[in-house]
Amino acid sequence: MAMKGLLAGLPWWVKWVAIPLIAVLVFGGMIATVVSVLIGVLFKVLLFVALVGGLIYVVRKFLSSSSSRSDW
C-alpha cells in the first residue's frame, strides 16, 4: 500500500502535527546527536581556518619586516 493511500482518509492535523511529533519523539535523540556532531565539526573547521589564516598572516608580516630590515 502506498503512503499516499495510507494517509488519504486522515484529517490534516494527523498528517501535519501528530506524525511529525511522533517522529521527533522516536528519533529525537538521534536527530539531536546528528545536529550536535555537525555543529561541532563546523566549529572545528572554522577554528582551523582561523588558525591557519592567523598563521599565514603572522608569517607574512614577519617575512616582510625581516626583508625590509635587510635592505637597510
Annotated domain spans of the chain: 43-67
Element (H, E) at 31: helix 19-71
Q: What is the pLDDT of residue 5?
A: 82
Please provide the average confidence, as pLDDT, over all residues in the chain.
90
Q: Are 7 and 15 in contact (CB under 8 A)?
A: yes
What is the DSSP-derived secondary structure letter of residue 9? T
Burial class (CB in 10 A: 0-12, 13-18, 19+), 47: exposed
pLDDT greater than 80 at residue 72: no
Residues 15-42: tens digit of each pLDDT: 999 999 999 999 999 999 999 999 999 9
